[in-house]
């Protein structure tokens, strides 16, 4: 609905769970939020369970969904995984990518995700030939998000080199615009829409020569757009950066004006004390993707120290080994418990803030991620009566959602006041598993 009332059986209001909350919606935004409404008002749409603000998936590469399962056969490292990933990237076309991304974003909607940050770097045809519309691939992703009913920040990614001082390899020709100036010119043509915002990304310090980092940073600065960068995911990147520039990747980014409150470092896994101080002191965000980081054997990043230093936390499903933001949130705390052998590094509320308000802020949607008047009417409802969630008192709904629920417990998803998932079914993409199977199969053929 575009105008009306949702009645939330239980609602997480940032610091507590309230039973019986009426949320008025008009023009895609939340009007009044009324508590102590113990029966649904006449005509209200009823959301049974625990309703959270919509979840933000702050780091996605939609096409990696085609690797699920396939990359679990055999052994290797991040670098061997990357070869398989490149072979899938080589087969993408605008139409094939649209079909795959539509299905992947529909899977996200079913998992309660209302906004995705798509870190997008497959820009051109194989060999680097430009499409008639040089933004055909980015447009395919924006359209896919519209059809799946979720918001997108297209983080158009500058990717120019295979490594420090190395030209792009054969697979990477599709990613490269030739220079940061040419990247900026192509991106300037992309238009924002109601459901879509445009941000920038630096693939990594490996992929953008130091002398061109400032061009990307300035582009984002002029537009007050989010700027994301893969940062120190692998020790090999740190070693190569030290050899080439005599400083860490974080220091290199700081020296070229890349860090700041609109910037998010993705992974931030292998950092020095100085790196942590630079990121925290500049207000640069940290996007952790723990299900991917464990899948790729990256390591466990110093997220606790980063947050303490002033770096806000967001979460992403990155390679889509699984798409489950509750699992990402849970993994943050559980990884830290295994490492430290102590409990209680984050509260459930702090992890939900990372998955909602702070995730949206990292994607340039500051007005989303809370249930309060004026916010975008984006909501996610978790069942409290499933085999996983039945039992705990509803006042512990946040703890139950983070530490016991899964994406399979998402019952309703509302974006801009419209119900995109109702009773666990997508309202616009009739058979999401089939859409996924077909799109992945088409890439394999």
Q: How far is the CB of 187 from Zn ion (least distance, A)?
A: 18
Measuring CA to CA, how many Å separate 10 from each of 20, 56, 390, 399? 6, 20, 14, 14
Catalytic residue among 318, 324, 358, 378: 318
Q: How far is the CB of 105 from Zn ion (least distance, A)?
A: 17
318 HSE (CA, 13 A, CB side)? 24
Is residue 36 part of the annotated active site? The answer reads no
Interface of this chain with Zn ion, residues 85 to 104, rule: CB under 5 A: none
Interface of this chain with Zn ion, residues 302 to 331, rule: CB under 5 A: 318
Which two tokens mark 311? 């770096």
Query: Buried b vs exposed e over 9-20: b needs ≥16 C-beta within 10 Å?
Result: bbbbbbeebbbb
Specify the residue, 24 or 318, whose C-beta has the smaller distance to Zn ion.
318
Mask for 371-410, x = binds Zn ion (CB under 5 A): ----------------------------------------
Phi and psi angles of residue 393, each rounded to the nearest 5 degrees, phi first: -65, 145
Is residue 318 part of the annotated active site? The answer reads yes
Q: How far is the CB of 399 from Zn ion (least distance, A)?
A: 29
Q: How far is the CB of 233 from Zn ion (least distance, A)?
A: 8
Interface of this chain with Zn ion, residues 142 to 201, rule: CB under 5 A: none
Task: List the beta strands (DSSP E) in 351-442.
Answer: 379-382, 410-415, 418-422, 425-426
Specify the residue, 320 or 360, whose C-beta has the smaller distance to Zn ion.
320
Specify the residue, 318 or 409, whose C-beta has the smaller distance to Zn ion.
318
73 HSE (CA, 13 A, CB side)? 5
Catalytic residue among 98, 256, 267, 360: 267
Per DSSP, the residues of 293-334 read: HHHTT-----HHHHHHHT--EEE--BT-SS--HHHHHHHHHH
What DSSP state is assigned to residue 37? -
Instruction: Give the integer Cα–Cα distance in Å for 262 and 155.
Output: 12
Q: How would you list the strands of the sheet with 379-382, edge to edge?
A: 29-34, 17-26, 3-12, 45-53, 379-382, 410-415, 418-422, 425-426
Q: Which residues contact 422 (CB under 8 A, 6 or more apart)?
A: 412
Q: How far is the CB of 59 from Zn ion (least distance, A)?
A: 6
Q: How far is the CB of 138 from Zn ion (least distance, A)?
A: 16
Q: How far is the CB of 61 from Zn ion (least distance, A)?
A: 6
Specify the residue, 318 or 336, whose C-beta has the smaller distance to Zn ion.
318
Count of residues of this chain found to bind Zn ion when the rule CB under 5 A is applied: 1
Specify the residue, 177 or 318, whose C-beta has the smaller distance to Zn ion.
318
Which two tokens mark 307? 């947050």
What DSSP state is assigned to residue 377? -
Q: Where are the alpha helices (DSSP H) in 224-367?
A: 235-245, 249-255, 273-281, 290-295, 303-309, 325-340, 348-355, 357-362
Q: Which residue is nearest to Zn ion (CB)?
A: 318
Specify the residue, 17 or 113, whose C-beta has the smaller distance to Zn ion.
113
Specify the residue, 318 or 378, whose C-beta has the smaller distance to Zn ion.
318
Specify the residue, 139 or 318, whose C-beta has the smaller distance to Zn ion.
318
Q: How far is the CB of 284 from Zn ion (least distance, A)?
A: 17
Beta pairing class for 45-53 and 55-60: unpaired
Which residues are catalytically annotated? 267, 318
Residues in contact with Zn ion by the rule CB under 5 A: 318
């Amino acid at each position: 609905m575009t105008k009306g009332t949702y009645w939330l059986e239980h609602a997480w209001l940032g610091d507590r769970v309230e039973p019986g909350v009426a949320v008025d919606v008009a023009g895609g935004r939340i009007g009044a939020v009324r508590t102590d409404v113990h029966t649904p008002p006449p005509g209200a749409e009823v959301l049974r369970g625990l309703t959270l603000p919509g979840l933000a998936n702050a780091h996605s590469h939609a096409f990696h969904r085609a690797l699920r399962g396939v990359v679990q056969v055999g052994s290797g490292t991040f670098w061997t995984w990357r070869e398989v990933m490149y072979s899938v990237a080589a087969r993408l076309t605008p139409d094939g990518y649209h079909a795959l991304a539509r299905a992947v974003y529909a899977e996200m909607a079913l998992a309660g995700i209302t906004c995705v940050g798509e870190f997008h770097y497959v820009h051109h045809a194989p060999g680097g030939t430009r499409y008639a519309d040089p933004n055909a691939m980015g447009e395919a992703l924006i359209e896919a998000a519209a059809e799946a009913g979720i918001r997108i920040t297209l983080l158009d990614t500058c990717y120019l080199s295979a490594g420090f001082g190395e030209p792009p390899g054969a697979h990477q020709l599709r990613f490269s615009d030739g220079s940061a100036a040419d990247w900026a010119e192509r991106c300037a043509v992309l238009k924002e829409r109601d459901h879509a915002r445009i941000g920038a990304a630096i693939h990594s310090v490996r992929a953008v020569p130091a002398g061109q980092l400032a061009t990307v940073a300035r582009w984002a600065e002029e537009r007050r757009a989010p700027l994301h960068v893969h940062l120190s995911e692998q020790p090999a990147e740190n070693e190569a950066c030290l050899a080439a520039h005599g400083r860490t990747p974080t220091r290199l980014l700081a020296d070229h004006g890349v860090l700041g409150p609109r910037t998010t470092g993705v992974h931030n896994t292998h950092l020095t004390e100085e790196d942590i101080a630079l990121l925290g002191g500049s207000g640069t965000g940290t996007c952790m993707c723990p299900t991917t980081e464990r899948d790729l054997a990256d390591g466990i990043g110093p997220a606790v120290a980063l947050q303490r230093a002033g770096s806000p936390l967001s979460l992403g499903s990155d390679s889509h080994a699984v798409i489950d933001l509750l699992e990402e949130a849970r993994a943050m705390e559980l990884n830290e418990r295994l490492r430290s052998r102590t409990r209680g590094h984050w509260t459930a509320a702090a992890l939900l803030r990372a998955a909602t308000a702070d995730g949206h802020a990292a994607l340039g949607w500051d007005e989303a991620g809370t249930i309060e008047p004026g916010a975008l009417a984006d909501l996610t409802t978790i069942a409290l009566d499933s085999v996983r969630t039945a039992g705990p008192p509803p006042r512990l709904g946040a703890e139950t959602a983070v530490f016991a629920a899964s994406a399979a417990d998402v019952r309703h998803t509302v974006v801009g006041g419209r119900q995109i998932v109702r009773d666990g079914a997508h309202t616009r993409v009739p058979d999401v598993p089939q859409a996924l199977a077909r799109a992945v199969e088409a890439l394999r053929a």
